[in-house]
Structure 1
């Protein structure tokens, strides 16, 4: 039984590490060359927004995997990183590779969210729960662009290839290939 658990942890750590490298390749290193730790570190030192992605992914990896018993240290480091970039992203949030925050201040994300690949988020976006007892997940698909000061609340699903305009209030499911904007009420139309 212990060997089975140990093997399961090895596989889990392998996929977590593979995900970490994929995220760092798309968000920090960028380009078509294969992933390289020295290049990723150099680019993280050189550019402040890439530095955020680098440390966010590194500390989130250690928080999730608790590798080398660094889970508590990683949580503390993530809080410090959030404060320095004026964001509040819960380390339990599952965010796919290619994640991009255009302007950092005011971005708030709860832990019960799953965001797909290549998400673009602008300043002032809140992705959260309706209240403290809301247990569901907010699921956001691949290639979703979220405009500034948008509020996404509740246990909802947003499809792939969706564009959400500025100052939208989203509390309903959104189908794939849609544009969402708020005039006086939420409006959803096909692209």
Structure 2
């Protein structure tokens, strides 16, 4: 992305995730909401990290990594700086959420606690390693999305404690069936 596009993307993300308003973007409103509302601080700082990481400056990239390390320590949520996420990110509970930097995510993405999105690391280098997630996707608590070159469509709901390692078409509800066995002693 060009610098102007990055800036426009940052403003739109902060407007939707931190200001949570239809009003035009304003740094004053954004700072006010980021520091008044603790539940919006992670999004504020992660969007700054993403902006700095995508700059051309090595110093700004280094600063992005430093801020991201502090976010990981404070929130126990690791979204790597290279991750591309559209406006509308919602992390329900900041506990053990991990998203790999090779992930491209659309708008209005919601993820819950103890969820992982990552690559398997077994790619033969013939295809680009990416996990692409569409718009309006929800990931349930304890879910794991692992694979190389996965595509998850738009308007998908992934149930709690699901394991996903294959493509999912648009407009789907996906869950891993579990069976509970109780044996009397």
TM-score, structure 2 normalization: 0.89
Paired residues in the alignment total 175
CA shift digits 1:165-185 (9 cap, x unpaired):
000000010000000011049
Q: What is the distance in 1 between the residues matched to 2:64 and 2:139? A: 28
1:8 matched residue in structure 2: none
1:3 matched residue in structure 2: none
Q: What is the distance in 1 between the residues matched to 2:29 and 2:77? A: 26
Q: What is the distance in 2 between the residues matched to 1:158 and 1:37? A: 34
SS in 2 for 1:53: helix
Long gaps (5+) in structure 2: 180-185
Task: Return closer, same or farther for 1:165/1:45 CA change in 2, 3 Å cut-off.
Answer: same
Q: Does the 8 Å contact 2:113/2:141 carry over to 1?
A: yes
Q: What is the distance in 2 between the residues matched to 1:68 and 1:152? A: 31
SS in 2 for 1:182: coil
Q: Does the 8 Å contact 2:109/2:135 carry over to 1?
A: yes
CA shift digits 1:35-93 (9 cap, x unpaired):
11100100000112211111111122011114593211111111111211001111001
1:149 matched residue in structure 2: 142
1:40 matched residue in structure 2: 30
Q: Which stretch shows the higher mean deviation, 73-82 or 125-134?
A: 125-134
Q: Does the 8 Å contact 1:60/1:78 carry over to 2?
A: no
Q: What is the distance in 2 between the residues matched to 1:66 and 1:132? A: 30
Structure 1 residue ranges (4+ consecutive) displaced by more than 2 angstroms after TM superposition: 66-69, 131-135
In structure 2, which of residues 130, 139, 153 is the aligned counterpart of residue 159 of structure 1? 153
What is the alpha-carbon root mean square deviation over aligned residues? 1.7
Q: What is the distance in 2 between the residues matched to 1:58 and 1:180? A: 33
Task: Return closer, same or farther for 1:102/1:60 CA change in 2, 3 Å cut-off.
Answer: same
Residues 1:104 and 2:94 are matched in the alignment = yes
Residues 1:181 and 2:175 are matched in the alignment = yes
SS in 1 for 2:174: strand
1:93 matched residue in structure 2: 83
Which one has a larger percent helix, Structure 1 or Structure 2?
1
Long gaps (5+) in structure 1: 1-10, 186-191
Q: What is the distance in 1 between the residues matched to 2:170 and 2:123? A: 28
Q: Which stretch shows the higher mean deviation, 123-132 or 32-41?
A: 123-132
Residues 1:139 and 2:132 are matched in the alignment = yes
